[in-house]
Structure 1
Amino acid sequence: MRQSIFISGAAQGIGAAIARLFYQQGYNVGIYDINETAAQHLAAQLGENAKAGRLDVAQYSDWQTALNEFVVWAGELNVLVNNAGILYSGAFEKTEIIAHHRTIDINVKGVLNGCHVALPFLKKSSFARIINLSSASAIYGQADLISYSASKFAVRGITEGLDIEWQKYGIRVLDVMPLFVQTAMVKDMDAGTIQNIGVDLKPQDIADEVFNLVNSKGTIFTQTHHPIGLKTKIMYQLSTISPQILNRLSNMLLSRK
């Protein structure tokens, strides 16, 4: 039986790149997004082993409907990719509070909802893995990206905790931590870090890393966090050995406009 992957926020950008790669590698692919029309269009492009549907990740009932529907179609759930996310940039106080709340609803509650609903299906599968989309913004809190950065710290914590807690079920829970990626999310972004660091990564870079993680043996020595790109890897490693004051100063410099 074909292995299956369910991807949230899969209609465009990183999610779509993941969907295309796994489809090419012989997976049954679930393309679920709040933009169902775009999701259906991508599924039609890929072929009969792709299934699309609507999913508002902030709604627990949407997850229940989507995953039940997908598992009936695919036979089992092997891989869940919590990819859906949003980003608001700019000064914290100039960003409407509803935007901060929406970031948490989608980026954090969406991951909690997905993991919670998926567990019964993953426990029954022959092979099971969860890959969460974290970010380099979870290395140190980012100016002008406050709620986004906080949401990705939450994803980092969820990943670490569940990767330990769900060992008893044989489920690895891992994350990828890219820097800025060439997607619609970073277009016209108002943050000094993107101006100073630039946008070097493409959606395919993240898709390739997700595929490698899913297909690795996943031993106890497999790390939980996976920075993507040279700049992110350097930032991640330096953050583990630098005094807190240096981490703060370096991030102040990077955030200057």
Structure 2
Amino acid sequence: MTGSRDRRRSVVVTGAGRGIGEATARMFADAGYLVGAYDLKQCTWAEGDDRVVTGALDVTDPAAWESALGDFATRTGGGIDVLVNNAGTLYGTPFIDASYEQDALLVDVNVKGVLYGCRAAFPFLRKGTRPAVINVCSASAIYGQAEMATYSATKFAVRGITEALDLEWRPHGVHVSSVWPLYVGTEMLAGVETAGMKNLGVTLTEDDVAAEIVAVADKAGRRSSGLVGRLRDALTDSVHRPVGQQATAMYLASQVIPGRILKFTNKRLTS
């Protein structure tokens, strides 16, 4: 009932109307969370499911963020435990074939949407239990992707936002991280065909990404006991979590190989 406090761990997922967002919201609900599922239009898939609170949210509108989070927090006693910034969009063409309007849309949704969500959510996260922000980034934040230049640029921005807020918010107990899939078989890629997609294939599913997001949320703020457990925590407590074998190999390689070799490898894979 509205106004009563729900004792379940809580999560807000944006872009939850379909694709990765819907899969993530469903998986959180199955894991026992109270889920706030938001998209530009009400998420019809969740109608009648008392595990899910739905609403319309334009992530490019700060007032809409504050309203949606405030309404959801009335169910939780004032706090929110997890925010998943998933809403995003892309185009996949040579840069010069796109338009100013397409560039602006990607920046508004993929960058401003994350910034506004983090800013609006912070007061609620501070009241949460083991609070976490999980930003859906991309392996295209490893090195700029041909035919996806603007999308790649927005994901580099998400990478920077994540790293900076992880440093700023850890003292407040808020864990900020990101997940990095490569190409995922969602409707968002329908009609998109780049050289990178042809060469590497579309191997990940929505559930692959959703499972990683839920795992990151469940681990946030937990600490193992004993020396071995603490060492394991230190080794696995990465701000960025690649999803799938391809993204993992690319991410780990980017940490150790020189930039000129990374550029050459990326060119071979994506052109």
The alignment's TM-score, normalised by the length of structure 1, stands at 0.95
RMSD over aligned CA atoms reads 1.2
The alignment status of 1:56 with 2:71, answered yes or no, reads: no
**C-alpha distance in 1 between matches for 2:170 and 2:161:** 14
**C-alpha distance in 2 between matches for 1:145 and 1:233:** 20
**C-alpha distance in 2 between matches for 1:143 and 1:35:** 32
The alignment status of 1:7 with 2:9, answered yes or no, reads: no
**C-alpha distance in 2 between matches for 1:217 and 1:124:** 15
Counterpart of 1:168 in structure 2 is: 171
**C-alpha distance in 1 between matches for 2:253 and 2:75:** 45
Q: 1:27-51: CA deviations, max 9, x gaps? A: 1110100122xx1x12216x11211
CA contact (8 A) 2:204 2:244 kept: yes
What displacement does 1:130 show?
0.6
Matches within 5 A, 1:1-257: 1-36=7-42, 39=43, 41-44=44-47, 47-75=49-77, 76-218=79-221, 221=234, 222-256=237-271
What displacement does 1:185 show?
1.1
Counterpart of 2:230 in structure 1 is: none
What displacement does 1:243 show?
1.5
**C-alpha distance in 2 between matches for 1:9 and 1:228:** 19
- The amino acid that maps onto 2:51 is N
- The amino acid that maps onto 1:208 is A
CA contact (8 A) 2:130 2:220 kept: no
Aligned residues: 252
- The amino acid that maps onto 1:3 is R
Residue segments in structure 1 that go unaligned for 5+ positions in a row: none
CA contact (8 A) 2:15 2:88 kept: yes
- The amino acid that maps onto 2:238 is Q
Counterpart of 1:31 in 2: which secondary structure?
A: strand
Residue segments in structure 2 that go unaligned for 5+ positions in a row: 1-6, 224-232
What displacement does 1:188 show?
1.7
Which structure 1 residue ranges, 4+ long, deviate > 6 Å from structure 2? none
Counterpart of 1:160 in 2: which secondary structure?
A: helix
CA contact (8 A) 1:144 1:190 kept: no
Counterpart of 1:149 in 2: which secondary structure?
A: helix
Report % sequence identity.
41
